[in-house]
C-alpha cells in the first residue's frame, strides 16, 4: 500500500482509492441505556405513544422517565463533543509517548518511521471524518443517482488526465490516476453511484498502471471504452480483453513494445472507430513496420480514422478490408532524409498506398507527411495519370516541394476541399530549389481546387533560430471573415526555403513570390501580418545587441518586406493589420515610396494590434529603441499626410498598443483614429 503523506490519499491501489473508508471510533461516551426502545417519530423526542395526545394535554403532562434519560444522554454527548480539541490533543500526546517509549534514542530513523505511520493513520481518520461530514450534507446525500451520474459524466469530460500529467509520467515514471477520482471520496452515496455507473470508468489509460487499468476494465463492465497510452509499458493482454467493446485506441509505441502491441491487435474489433499508432524513440524506418496482415482478424467494420506514425497499414493484396471504409487517413514518417531511389520497403509502401487510395471511396481527410515517392516516380504509381478523391474535404501534404507538386498535379478533388501544403526542399541531396519551385508552380496552375477566389489572407512568420527552422505561412479564406476558423487554403514555406545564407534567402524569397503569384489572391480585401513566438527546442534565446540577434531582425525584415511586395498586387486590398514593429516598418517603407499612388490604391484601413512604442530606459539600450519608435511613428505620420494629399486617406485602428501621448495626439491630427479596448472581441475591421 502506498500512501501520500501530504494529502492522505491513496494513489496506486484502486481498491483503496476511496473504495473503503477507515472506520475510526468516535469519542462519544454513550451509556448502554441509550439502547432502550424509543419511538422514531418526527418529534425526535423518543417518547412512547402517549405523546400522540400532546395536542390536548401539552400543559398538564409530566415528563416520562425515558424522555428524561434521553435528554440527559444528548446533553452528555454534546458536552463530550465540545471537548473534541482536548480529546484529540490528549490522544496525540499519548501516541507520541508510546512512540518515544518504543523507539531507541540511538535510532532516530526508526522513530521518524513510527511518527510517519502515526501521521498516515491520523490523515486516514481525518478523511473518514470528512466523508462522514459530507454524508450529512443535503446536497451530497439527496441528489438522485441519475442526476449525480450525469454530473459525474460532465466532470469526467472536463478533467481528463491532462498532457502535463502524461509528460510528468513519461519523465518521472510517476503513476497517475483518473483526475475525477476525488469525487468518489466525498461520501458513501457518491461512491455507490460512481461504482454503479460503468461509463465513468470507460476511458482507460496505460499510464494508470496495470492495477488501476484492470480495475477500470472491471468497473466499466460491458460499456464501450477508449484506450490511450503514451507508453508501451502496460499489460498488452488488456487490449485483447476489451477489443470487442473498444471504440478508440491511441498508443505512442516504443521500440521495445511494438511487436507485443501488434500481436494484441489480432482480435475482432466490431466497435472500433479510430486507431492511432504513433512512435517514441523508434529509430528504425517506419516503412519497415506495418500493421499485421490479419489485424483485427479483418473485422473492424466501423473503423473510420487511421493515424499511423510508427508503421504503415497492412501491405497485402488485395487491399486490407480495414481501409475500405476510412474517412480519415494520416500516415507520417520522420525518418532519415529521402533518397531519389527508394528502399525496397519504401517502394512496397508506395505501391500499396496508390493502389489503396482509389478504393477509399469515403475518404474525407488525407494527411501524408514525408511519405510521397520522388516526383519522377509518382506517375508510375498512378494508373491513367488521375487520382480521383471525390469526397475529400481536407488535404494536407508535408514533404519536398517537388514531390508535393507532382502528387498534387495528379489529384482530382472537390472544389470545397481545404488544402494545406508544407513545402520543404532539404530532404534530397543536391536539390535545386528553383526546380522544386517550378514543379509546385506548375501543379498550382493545374489544380482547379486552388483556382478559387480568396478574400482574406493571413501571413505568419515563425522566426525560430533564424534562418534555420523558420517557417513562413500563408492562410487564405474564401470569405471576408476574421481569421479564426480553419483556412480554406494554407501554404507553409520552411526548411531550405528560408535557410542558408542571406544570398540564398534572397533567392528563396523571389521563388516564394513566384509561387504566390499563381495563387488567386487578386481579390483579397484584408491582410493580417502575424509573427508567431518561438517555442520548444527552437526557441530563440539571443541576447539583445548580439550579432545573431541583428541578423535575426534582418531576416524578419527581409521576409516581411517580400510579403508586403506580394500584397502590392492585390488590387482589391482594403485593410492591413500588423502586430510587430518589423512588419510595420516593412509596410511603411513601401507606402512611403515616391510612387505611393501605385502602392495599395484601395487601402482604407490600417490596424495596429499589440505594438509597444514606449521608449525604454536609456540604460538598457542607449535610447536606440526609443529613437527607432520615434522614427517609425514619424514615418507613419508622414504616410498619412501623403495619402491624404493623394485623396487616398487611411483610417487608423489601434488596439492594445502603447503609444506616447505626443504621438497619439499627432496621429489624431493626421487621420481618423479608432481606439479599441482590450476586452473587445476579435472582429474583422472593415475598410468602409
Q: How far is Cα 244 from Cα 267, in angstroms, rounded to an integer?
A: 8
Match 454513550 to its residue by C-alpha cell.
30
User: Against a cut of 0.85, is the pTM above it?
Assistant: no
Q: Between vectors from CA 226 to CA 224 and to CA 229, what angle results, nearest 5°?
A: 155
Instruction: Give the pLDDT confidence of 401-434 residue by residue, as tens digits.
Output: 888 988 988 888 888 899 999 988 765 666 677 8
Q: Model confidence at 286, in pLDDT bands (50, 70, 90)?
A: confident
Averaged pLDDT for residues 591-603: 69
Asked whether the predicted pLDDT for residue 246 surpasses 80, the reply is yes
Highest mean pLDDT of the ranges 131-135, 153-157, 354-358: 354-358
Asked whether the predicted pLDDT for residue 153 surpasses 60, the reply is yes
For strand 471-477 and strand 456-462, is the pairing parallel, antiparallel, or unpaired? antiparallel
Q: What is the 3-state secondary structure (H, E, C) of 37-64?
A: CCCCCCCCCCCCHHHHHHHHHCCCCCCC
Top pLDDT among 180 and 545 is at 180
Asked whether the predicted pLDDT for residue 57 surpasses 50, the reply is no
Q: What is the DSSP letter of 656?
A: S
Phi and psi, residue 606, nearest 5°:
-120, 125
Q: Model confidence at 75, in pLDDT bands (50, 70, 90)?
A: low
- Kind and range of the H or E element at 675? strand 673-676
Phi and psi, residue 69, nearest 5°:
-60, -40
Top pLDDT among 435 and 620 is at 435
The share of the chain scoring above pLDDT 90, in percent, equals 23
Q: Which of 66-80, 166-180, 406-420, 454-468 has the lowest mean pLDDT?
A: 166-180
Q: Which of 215-219, 257-261, 394-398 has the lowest mean pLDDT?
A: 257-261
Q: Model confidence at 30, in pLDDT bands (50, 70, 90)?
A: very low
- Give me the residue spans of the domains in the chain: 32-133, 336-450
Q: Model confidence at 168, in pLDDT bands (50, 70, 90)?
A: very low
Asked whether the predicted pLDDT for residue 597 surpasses 70, the reply is no
Q: Between vectors from CA 248 to CA 244 and to CA 253, what angle results, nearest 5°?
A: 105
Q: Model confidence at 363, in pLDDT bands (50, 70, 90)?
A: very high
Q: Which of 339-348, 368-377, 463-472, 531-540 has the lowest mean pLDDT?
A: 531-540
Measured between alpha carbons, how far is residue 119 from residues 20, 109, 111, 133 in Å?
Answer: 19, 15, 12, 21
pLDDT, position 11 = 43
Asked whether the predicted pLDDT for residue 310 surpasses 80, the reply is yes
Asked whether the predicted pLDDT for residue 564 surpasses 50, the reply is yes
Cell (9 digits) for 228: 490511450
pLDDT, position 362 = 94
- Kind and range of the H or E element at 278? strand 274-279
Amino acid at each position: 500500500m502506498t500512501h501520500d503523506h501530504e494529502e492522505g490519499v491513496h494513489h496506486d491501489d484502486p481498491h483503496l482509492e476511496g473504495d473503503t473508508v477507515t472506520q475510526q471510533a468516535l469519542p462519544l461516551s454513550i451509556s448502554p441505556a441509550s439502547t432502550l426502545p424509543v419511538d422514531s417519530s418526527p418529534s425526535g423526542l423518543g417518547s412512547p405513544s402517549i405523546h400522540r395526545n400532546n395536542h390536548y394535554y401539552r400543559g398538564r403532562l409530566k415528563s416520562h422517565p425515558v424522555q428524561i434519560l434521553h435528554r440527559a444522554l444528548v446533553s452528555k454527548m454534546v458536552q463530550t463533543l465540545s471537548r473534541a480539541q482536548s480529546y484529540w490533543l490528549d490522544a496525540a500526546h499519548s501516541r507520541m509517548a508510546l512512540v518515544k517509549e518504543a523507539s531507541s534514542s540511538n535510532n532516530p530513523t526508526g522513530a521518524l518511521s513510527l511518527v510517519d505511520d502515526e501521521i498516515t493513520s491520523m490523515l486516514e481518520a481525518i478523511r473518514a471524518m470528512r466523508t462522514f461530514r459530507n454524508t450529512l450534507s443535503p446536497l451530497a446525500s439527496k441528489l438522485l443517482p441519475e442526476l449525480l451520474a450525469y454530473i459525474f459524466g460532465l466532470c469526467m469530460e472536463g478533467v481528463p488526465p491532462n498532457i502535463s500529467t502524461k509528460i510528468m509520467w513519461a519523465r518521472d515514471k510517476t503513476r497517475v490516476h483518473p483526475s475525477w477520482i476525488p469525487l468518489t471520496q466525498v461520501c458513501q452515496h457518491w461512491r455507490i453511484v460512481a461504482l454503479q455507473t460503468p461509463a465513468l470508468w470507460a476511458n482507460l489509460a496505460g499510464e494508470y498502471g496495470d492495477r488501476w487499468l484492470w480495475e477500470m476494465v472491471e468497473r466499466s463492465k460491458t460499456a464501450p471504452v477508449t484506450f490511450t497510452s503514451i507508453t508501451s509499458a502496460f499489460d498488452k493482454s488488456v487490449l485483447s480483453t476489451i477489443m470487442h467493446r473498444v471504440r478508440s485506441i491511441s498508443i505512442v509505441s516504443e521500440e521495445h513494445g511494438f511487436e507485443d502491441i501488434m500481436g494484441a491487435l489480432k482480435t475482432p474489433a466490431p466497435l472500433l472507430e479510430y486507431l492511432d499508432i504513433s512512435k517514441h524513440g523508434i529509430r528504425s524506418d517506419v516503412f519497415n513496420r506495418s500493421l499485421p496482415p490479419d489485424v483485427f482478424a479483418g473485422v473492424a467494420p466501423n473503423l473510420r480514422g487511421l493515424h499511423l506514425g510508427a508503421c504503415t497499414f497492412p501491405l497485402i493484396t488485395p487491399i486490407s478490408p480495414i481501409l475500405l471504409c476510412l474517412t480519415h487517413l494520416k500516415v507520417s514518417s520522420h525518418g532519415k532524409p529521402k533518397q531519389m531511389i527508394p528502399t525496397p520497403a519504401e517502394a512496397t509502401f508506395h505501391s500499396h498506398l496508390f493502389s489503396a487510395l482509389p478504393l477509399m471511396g469515403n475518404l474525407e481527410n488525407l494527411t501524408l507527411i514525408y511519405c510521397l515517392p520522388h516526383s519522377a516516380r509518382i506517375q508510375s504509381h498512378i494508373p491513367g495519370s488521375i487520382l480521383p478523391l471525390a469526397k475529400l474535404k481536407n488535404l494536407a501534404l508535408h514533404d519536398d516541394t517537388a514531390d508535393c507538386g507532382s502528387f498534387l498535379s495528379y489529384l482530382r478533388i472537390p472544389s470545397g476541399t481545404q488544402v494545406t501544403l508544407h513545402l520543404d526542399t532539404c530532404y534530397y541531396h543536391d536539390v535545386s530549389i528553383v526546380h522544386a519551385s517550378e514543379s509546385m508552380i506548375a501543379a498550382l496552375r493545374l489544380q482547379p481546387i486552388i483556382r478559387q477566389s480568396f478574400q482574406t489572407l493571413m501571413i505568419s512568420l515563425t522566426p525560430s533560430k533564424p534562418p534555420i527552422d523558420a517557417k513562413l505561412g500563408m492562410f487564405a479564406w474564401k470569405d471576408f471573415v476574421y481569421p479564426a476558423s480553419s483556412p480554406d487554403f494554407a501554404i507553409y514555406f520552411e526548411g531550405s526555403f528560408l535557410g542558408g545564407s542571406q544570398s540564398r534567402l534572397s533567392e528563396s524569397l523571389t521563388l516564394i513570390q513566384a509561387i504566390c503569384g499563381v495563387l488567386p489572391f487578386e481579390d483579397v480585401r484584408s491582410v493580417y501580418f502575424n509573427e508567431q513566438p518561438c517555442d520548444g527546442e527552437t526557441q530563440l534565446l539571443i541576447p539583445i545587441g548580439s550579432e545573431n540577434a541583428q541578423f535575426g531582425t534582418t531576416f524578419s525584415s527581409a521576409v516581411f518586406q517580400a510579403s508586403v511586395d506580394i500584397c502590392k498586387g492585390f488590387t482589391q486590398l482594403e485593410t492591413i493589420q500588423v502586430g510587430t514593429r518589423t512588419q510595420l516598418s516593412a509596410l511603411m517603407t513601401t507606402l512611403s515610396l515616391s510612387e505611393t499612388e501605385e502602392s495599395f490604391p484601395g487601402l482604407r484601413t490600417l490596424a495596429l494590434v499589440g505594438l509597444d512604442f514606449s521608449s525604454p530606459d536609456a540604460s538598457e539600450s542607449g535610447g536606440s529603441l526609443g529613437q527607432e519608435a520615434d522614427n517609425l511613428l514619424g514615418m507613419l505620420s508622414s504616410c498619412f499626410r501623403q495619402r491624404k494629399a493623394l485623396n487616398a486617406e487611411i483610417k487608423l485602428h489601434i488596439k492594445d498598443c502603447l503609444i506616447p501621448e505626443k504621438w497619439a495626439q499627432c496621429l489624431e491630427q493626421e487621420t481618423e483614429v479608432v481606439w479599441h479596448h482590450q476586452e473587445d472581441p476579435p472582429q474583422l475591421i472593415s475598410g468602409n
